[in-house]
Amino acid sequence: MDIIFKGEHLLPGQLGQFFVVLAFGAALFSFICYFFATQETAPKSDNSWLRLGRIGYWLNTVAIVGMGVCLFYILYNHYFEYHYAWSYTSRELPVYYLISGFWNGQEGGFLLWMFWEAVLGNILIWRAKSWEKPVMTTLALSQVVLGTMILGLQIGSAHIGSSPFMLLRNSGIEGPIFQNANYLDFIKDGKGMNPSLQNYWMIIHPPTLFLGSASLVVPFAFAVAGLWKRRYKEWVQPAIPYALFSCMVLGTGVIMGSFWAYESLNFGGFWAWDPVENASIFPWLILVAAVHVLIVYKNTGHSYFTATFLTLVAFVLVWYSSFLARSGVLGESSVHAFTDLGLFWQLVIGILIFLAITAYLLISRFKEMPITKKDEETYSREFWMFVGAIFLGLSCFHLIVVTSVPVWNLMFGTKFAPPTDPVKHYNVIQASFAVVIALLSGFTQFLKYKKTDVTRFFITTLIYLVFAALITGLAVYATGFYKLHFVFIIVMLCSIYTIVSNGKILADSFKGKYKLAGSAVAHIGFGLLLVGALISAGTQKVVSENLTGEQYSVEFAKDENPKENILLYKNEPLKMGEYMVTFKGDTIEGASHFFNIDYQRIKEGKVTESFTLRPNVIQAQGGMSSTPDTKHYLFHDLYTHITMTNVISTAPQAEEASHGEEGDDKNYDAPVAHEIAIGDTMTYRDGIIVLKGLNKNVKLQNIPLTDKDIAVGAQLEVITHGKTYQSEPVYMIKGRAVFDFGKKIEDAGLKLRFTKIIPGQTVADGKVEITVYQQPESKKKFIVMKAIEFPYINFLWAGTIIMIVGFFMSILRRNKEVKTV
């Protein structure tokens, strides 16, 4: 018997699911129509296939927007009967994070990808003119393949795609709760968003990255169209601006991701060579190489095959990296790979479709390609651009080989593990490629297109190389970079060489050779990016060195593992490098738990600088995530994050309060009783306590005192770690009973009781007994934190921005050259 569930909002889901199917159907229809429109040979056709193809694509666009609206409606209204809303959002999530909840799951990611592809398709329908039919065929095919990913069709035990509109009760989560017609009454809130994604960068990073990946389909489609329609030479020119656009946006997206990692994840850096990070730059590297070879071909007619090959492969790699990130194959080697949604084989088929198209066209058209037999001029710019592109390709090849280790294991049944120190492995090998690439992007700029005056070229190259060497020498000495592996020093030299030689080209371009300005700016940016990455990663320093930690064994101490975490008790300052740091306290704002840490730079007894950093810990989905806070200076950053704390506990805290007085004492070390007179001082572990005086006029709340009763307060002053606290525990005799009212000083971790009055010979002689309870070290509030200094990291970000500007200038230039027919 079917249960009729109460309180569900099925309409938006059904509408959404309708749009999902519509998007898929319309894309398929559009693909078929465009295909026939392209194949049509009749000289005077009525263009009906073309018109149908356009209608199909527009319908697809409308459906995608419809899906987006439905999904957002569900998230915005917190309809937790939908698996997507329940999994990734919760009620207290602010609206701007609901937007990032939209692409939190893989389905949303596909939706975003389809959306951008729809936008690009519409631009192409408007602008591509004679290229529209074949180019749009490829785009429509890509929309079809993407459409299957979110179809959510169940055929027997297999399912095709995973729909964002799946209901929670159909999602495969078993539970007796779903036997209830009113199960929704029990689901008050969603699981909430993964804490590390609750960051403003997650609102703009994924759309940028997806726009970049999606836009790679355009140069691919042009290459396919050129080969398919045998318009071998013509496709290159219109494809170049689109390829540059993809490079620019994808590059921006990747760097935004690394900025997000740096600002809000606790990797302790901007790049960790994680497989998913690597996968995101495969297509970028290959596409940058492709752009260079495309320009080579356009100028000289050489290297046609390489240009076409790279353009096609770049898009296949988009699918491959999507497979790596989404199929779960990286499970054992990556921190942030998605888990398998059951799309493994579907993603494989996706790769194979585009790989097959690439292979078929390259092989079947090989003999007809305009490949030159003539050898290239050695002293031409094109020749070295080509070499540089090859090395970009090789660097990508290395990344693919290593990152895909789990894939090789799966394919060949082997059991290799990734390198034990992957960071070192990647750094050294990729640095070697960077040497060649940076060197080439420097001296190639001095060569002329086609042919150069050799002696003049060698003289300029050498002059700038010497100049770069001088700067490098200074930089290496000043930053302490010379302690590193020599490869990195050579990369540094080559990067600085790139900057100065392209600086010369840029200066020339102001004198009229403005055409080269874009490329010069992009290369300067690239060089600066390398310099920033090298110095900040190479000379980053852990500031929070722990010099106090107890040694557990000689073996352990000998181990060169630096002790990178320090322990800070609340309100107890500690010297850390040049700073005096104090953990001042914590505040809770929503799901974030901020820790206020005071930094004071002290020189010769004077505080020269002081600031507060507020790293936070976010609790959600049953886990905690630590978000760093960074103090930015012009030339370095100071980065701090919490690695451990006893302030937040995952265990329920209700118990502690209910123990009462008896239980409370357990939170303290064994009490120590002191007999002291007024003005006397007693010492305890963290400071001193002075008895200032006795107050005979104590008023106690709720306890009326008669004349016979005695109530005395001991005025105590506690001085600990440069701070002074006042406290007044009370001793009372009421009737025949003796009471005492202890006072706590939470900040100092103290409880003080006035336990006895010892009468003396005279009044002044009298003593009192004060019992001091102090919290054991482990009960005091503490944090364990790590602080890292990243020198010159701003070069990295500045380099990126400059590179993007360069790409943009090149797009403008190349776009002017295009005369689409």
Q: Kindly identify the residues of this chain, within the stretch 479-518, that bind another protein according to CB under 8 A.
A: 484-485, 488
Q: Is residue 791 a contact partner of residue 479, using CB atoms and an 8 Å limit?
A: yes
Decide: is 466 part of the binding site for another protein (CB under 8 A): no
In whole angstroms, give the CA distance from residue 19 to residue 16: 5
Q: Which of 419, 663, 722, 760 is the binder for another protein (CB under 8 A)?
A: 419
Q: In angstroms, how far is CA 624 from the centroid of its own chain? A: 17
Q: Which of 423, 690, 694, 805 is the binder for another protein (CB under 8 A)?
A: 423
Q: How far is the CB of 401 from another protein (least distance, A)?
A: 5
Decide: is 157 part of the binding site for another protein (CB under 8 A): no
**Residue 776 Ramachandran class (φ > 0 left, ψ -120 to 50 alpha, else beta):** beta
Determine the size of the site formed for another protein (CB under 8 A): 74
Q: Which of 335, 474, 738, 812 is the binder for another protein (CB under 8 A)?
A: 335
Q: How far is the CB of 774 from another protein (least distance, A)?
A: 14
Q: How far is the CB of 363 from another protein (least distance, A)?
A: 19
Decide: is 425 part of the binding site for another protein (CB under 8 A): yes
Decide: is 420 part of the binding site for another protein (CB under 8 A): yes
- Per-residue tokens: 215: 């836009």
User: Cβ-count burial of 236 within 10 angstroms (0-12 exposed, 13-18 middle, 19+ buried)?
Assistant: buried
Q: Which of 398, 448, 584, 601 is the binder for another protein (CB under 8 A)?
A: 398
Cβ neighbours for 397, distance < 8 A, ≥ 6 positions apart: none
Site for another protein, residues 555 to 574, rule: CB under 8 A = 555-556, 559, 561-567
Decide: is 401 part of the binding site for another protein (CB under 8 A): yes
Q: Output 83 or 751, the one with its CB closest to another protein.
A: 83
Site string for another protein, 162-191 (x = CB under 8 A): ----------xx-----------------x
Q: Output 339 or 610, the one with its CB closest to another protein.
A: 339
Site string for another protein, 239-268 (x = CB under 8 A): ----------------------------xx
In whole angstroms, give the CA distance from residue 327 to residue 335: 14
Q: How far is the CB of 493 from another protein (least distance, A)?
A: 15
3-state secondary structure of 610: strand
In whole angstroms, give the CA distance from residue 794 to residue 802: 12
3-state secondary structure of 436: helix
Q: How far is the CB of 139 from another protein (least distance, A)?
A: 32
β-strand partners of 618: 592, 625
Site for another protein, residues 635 to 694, rule: CB under 8 A = 643-644, 646
Q: Which of 51, 91, 188, 424 is the binder for another protein (CB under 8 A)?
A: 424
Q: Output 244 or 337, the one with its CB closest to another protein.
A: 337
Decide: is 412 part of the binding site for another protein (CB under 8 A): no
In whole angstroms, give the CA distance from residue 675 to residue 558: 47
In whole angstroms, give the CA distance from residue 773 to residue 750: 6
- Per-residue tokens: 264: 């809000």
Q: In angstroms, how far is CA 391 from the centroid of its own chain? A: 27
Decide: is 549 part of the binding site for another protein (CB under 8 A): yes
Q: Which of 301, 418, 503, 585 is the binder for another protein (CB under 8 A)?
A: 418
Cα–Cα distances in Å, from 242 out to 112, 205, 400, 635?
19, 21, 25, 36
Q: How far is the CB of 555 from another protein (least distance, A)?
A: 6
One-letter identity of residue 819: K
Site for another protein, residues 768 to 797, rule: CB under 8 A = 777-778, 782, 784, 788
Which helix or strand (DSSP H or E) is residue 820 part of?
Answer: none
Site string for another protein, 351-390 (x = CB under 8 A): ------------------------xx-x----x--xx--x
Q: How far is the CB of 216 from another protein (least distance, A)?
A: 24
Q: Output 333 or 600, the one with its CB closest to another protein.
A: 333
In whole angstroms, give the CA distance from residue 615 to residue 632: 14
In whole angstroms, give the CA distance from residue 114 to residue 98: 20
Site for another protein, residues 603 to 622, rule: CB under 8 A = 621-622
Closest by CA position to 256, among listed 322, 209, 210? 209
In whole angstroms, give the CA distance from residue 596 to residue 613: 6
* φ, ψ at 13 (rounded to 5°): -70, -45
